[in-house]
Every structure is written in C-alpha cells, then in structure tokens.
C-alpha cells in the first residue's frame, strides 16, 4: 500500500508554484511554473515554454494541460 504522502496527486500538490517539465503523449513538452493542479491532474502553467524534442517552438503566458494527455511530469526543486 502506498503511503498517503507519496500518492502522485499529493506529491503534485506539494509542488505548486514550482517549475515542472511535462511531456505529453504527442511528444511535445512544456516547462513552466505549475500554478494549479486538480483531482484529474489538469494543470495550469504560467510562463510556459513549448518544446518539440529539444527545440523550443513557442512561449506562452498561461496554458492549460488536460491530465489525460500527460505522459509524465518531471518535478524540479
């Protein structure tokens, strides 16, 4: 059994306002400050950059990412 503090959603909530890197199922990646995370792991990032591979493709102020499109989330300290 997983400890409640180690469940993925609980870990994400602790990283609000931290910079995260999110890889989507379509191979795009977004790096930005995670402002909001809900129970479906939908995220709002601010000051986000979009990458295709290692190449930056766009810069956004705020973006919304649906949780069902996320492949993985890399947390940064």
Q: What is the CATH number of the domain that holds 8?
A: 2.30.30.100
Higher pLDDT, 1 or 69: 69
Q: State CA 70 to chain mean position distance.
A: 8
* Overall domain count for the chain: 1
- When pLDDT is averaged across residues 46-59 and rounded to a whole number, the result is 95
Q: What angle do CA 29, 34, 40 make, to 5 degrees?
A: 85
Which residue range(s) make up the domain with 46? 4-75
Give the pTM: 0.88
So what's the pLDDT on residue 2? 65
């Amino acid at each position: 059994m997983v400890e409640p503090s180690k469940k993925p959603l609980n870990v994400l909530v602790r990283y609000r306002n931290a910079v995260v890197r999110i890889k989507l199922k379509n191979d795009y990646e977004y790096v930005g400050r995670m402002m909001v995370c809900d129970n479906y792991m939908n995220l709002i990032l601010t000051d986000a950059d979009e990458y295709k591979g290692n190449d930056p493709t766009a810069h956004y102020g705020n973006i919304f990412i649906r949780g069902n499109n996320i492949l993985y989330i890399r947390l940064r300290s």
